[in-house]
Chains A and B, each alone.
Chain A
Amino acid sequence: MRVVLVAGAVALGVWAGRAMSPDVAMPEAGPAPAASASPREPASAPAAPSGVAKAATFPALPPADVAIAPWIDELTARARRGDTGAAMRLAADLLRCEGWRPSAPDAAALATRYGRLPWQPVDYTRPASGWTSEAHARAWTRNRRAVLDRVCPGLDDTMTAQAGEWLLHAARLGDTDAMVCYAISPDAFAKPVLSDRWVQWTRRWRNEALPMMMRAYEAGDPRALEALGWAYGSARAHGLAMSPFAALVEPDPVRGTVYGELYMRLFPGQEDLPPPAWTGLDASQAREAAALFERERPRFAGRTLLPPCSALTWFR
C-alpha cells in the first residue's frame, strides 16, 4: 500500500512539475513581458528584418528608429501571436539599446545642429571605403548616438537583456534569418564574454546552434548555405580564423566545397555556371561531392543572396 502511495505521489509530482514548466504551459509565450507605455504612433512604414518564414498577415511594424519603448507591449503581443517580424524588431532594437545611457540632455539637438549627415534613412554600416575625413567619422558617430538617444529612452537593463530571447523566439517561430543569426552570433546576445549570463546562454547555444542552422539550410536559406560552407571548408582553406559556429563541426572538404560552389551560384550572373570539376578533392571525394551538389542544387534554385543577421545590422 505504501509503495503504491509513494509511486502515486511521484507521478503527481511529475505532472505538477510539467504544469509548472513555463514552456509547457505557454509554448509560444516568448520572453517575459516588459512594462511599458502603449503605442503612441500609428504603424506607417514597414521596417521588418528580412526572414524567409516571416508571416505576412501582421500589420506593418513601427517605422525604423522611432522610440521603441512605447511599442513594446504591442510588439510583444504580436510576437507571441507568431509575428516573427515583431520578435526580430524587439531583438534588434533591444540589442542596440543594451547599455545605452543618454549621451547628454541635449544630444538630439546637438546632433541636428552639427551632424551633417542626413537623419533618415540612417546608414548603420561603416563606409566600405573608409571615412572621407575625420569630420565625416565624427558626424557618423554622432548621428548614430543621436539615433540611440531617440530609440532607447524608456528601456531598462532588464528589458534590453531580453534581446537574445526574442531572437530565439523568432527562430522557434520559423524565421530562418533568426536561426542563422542565433547560430553564428553566440557572443552578441549575452555580453560580456565569460560572464555568468554568457556561460548560461552559450551552453544552450552549443546544443542548439547546429540543428538550428540545419533547419535554416533545409528551408533553403542562402545565409545558412554560406555559413555552412565557411564552417566546413572555406574559412580553413583560406587560413581564416574559425568562427564560433565553425568550431561546432569537424572540417569536411566535400561539404565545404559543395556548399561553396552552391553559394557561388547565387551571385547574379553565376546561376548557370556548369558543375565544377572538383579539383582539390580525391576521386572518391569528387564523386561524393558531385552527388551532393546535384542533390542540393534544387534547394537553392531561384534564391538570392541575403545579408546575414538583420538583428546585427546596427553593429556592422
Chain B
Amino acid sequence: MGRATLGVIGVAFLLGIGWSVTRHENASPLPITAAAPSGHAEVAPVMDDVRSGPLPTKDADTAWRRVTSSIACLGSAGSGTVATFVVDRSAGPMRRDPDAEGSPCEHGPLRDWRTIQRELERAARLGSVEARFAYASDPLLLEERRAADVDAWASWREHAPGYLDEAIARGDARAAVLVAITRDPAACDGVSGDPRCRGRPALAWILGPDPGEAFVHYLVARTLGDTSRLVDERLVTLGAQLEPAEVDAAQARAQEILGRARP
C-alpha cells in the first residue's frame, strides 16, 4: 500500500471523527419525548431570514435609502411593533416617541420591522457608512426578543464596535459621542433635551462602563467638532474626577485616535 493511499485513509478517518463529533454537538443532547405539538408555531429567528431570504438590492446606499424611507413612513402606515422606530437624522434610527408626528407618506417600501432590520444589517455589511453608524447605534432589534434572536444580536455584537471605530477614523463625531456616552455611566445625569440621552444605548451591553475611555472619546468628539453642552459638561466633570496622570493618559490616547482619523 502506497504512502498516498495511507494518507488518504488517514484523512478519511479524521473526517469521519469530525463529522461524527460535529453531528453530535449539533444534536440536542436531551432525549426530548414531547416535541412541540402541531399548532405550536415557533417564531423564526431573525437571522434565519437573513440567511435564507433573497437579497432585494445589491447596492449599499440603495439599501440604506430603503431603510430610512421605510422607517420614515412607519408613522402613518404601521401599527404595533413596526411603528416603534423612527430615524433621527442626527443620531440614526432611534426608538420612536409614541407622541411623535406621523410621517409624510402612506407606505414605505419595507413595511415589516424584520425586513427593515435585515435591510439595515445588509446595508451595513455592504459598506454604507450611514447604515454602519445607524446599525451600530441601534440594530433595530427588539430587546424582548434578545434570546429568541440570539444570532442577530450576536452578529451585531461582533460588528458594532468595529463600525464605530471606522466611523471615528472617518472623523464622525457622532460615533465618538456614542462611545463616550456608553462608557460613561453618569453621561446623562442632569442633562436634559439632548436626544442622545434617550435611554441607555444597547452598546452598554458590550462596552462596559469606563470613565477613562469615556473621557477619551469626549475629547475626540470635541476635537472632531461636537460643541454640545453634553460633551462640555462631561469633559469638565470627568476631568475633575480623574487623576492628573489619567487625564494625561487620556489626552495621549485621544491624540492617538485623532491621528488615525481622516476628517
Contact = CB atoms under 8 A, between A and B. Distances in A.
Given A9-B12, A247-B145, A212 B32 contact: yes
Interface stretch (B2-10, B122-130, B170-178, B255-263): B2-10
B16 A17 contact: yes
Contact of A192 (B1, B32, B146, B205): B205
A281 to B, nearest CB: 15
A17 B20 contact: yes
Contact of B21 (A20, A171, A250): A20
A248 B144 contact: no
Contacts of B5: 2, 5
A243 interface: yes
B34 A218 contact: yes
B28 A208 contact: yes
A248 B157 CA distance: 21
A247 B149 CA distance: 9
B37 interface: yes
Which of B39, B40, B146 has the most C-beta atoms of chain A within 10 angstroms of its own C-beta? B40
Given A194-B157, A242-B145, A244-B147, A16 B35 contact: no
B13 A243 contact: no
B194 to A, nearest CB: 26
Contacts of A249: 40-43
A203 B9 contact: no
Interface residues of B, number: 47
Interface residues of A, number: 51
Contacts of B33: 215
A222 B43 CA distance: 24
Given A208-B32, A211-B34, A248-B148, 20 more contacts: A5-B1, A10-B15, A10-B19, A13-B12, A13-B14, A13-B15, A18-B20, A20-B17, A21-B20, A168-B30, A203-B150, A206-B148, A207-B28, A208-B28, A210-B40, A211-B32, A212-B30, A215-B33, A247-B145, A255-B39
12 contacts: A9-B9, A10-B16, A14-B19, A17-B16, A21-B21, A168-B30, A186-B147, A193-B205, A211-B30, A212-B32, A244-B146, A252-B40
Interface of B: 1, 5, 8-10, 12-21, 24-25, 28-37, 39-43, 45, 142, 144-151, 153-154, 157, 205-206
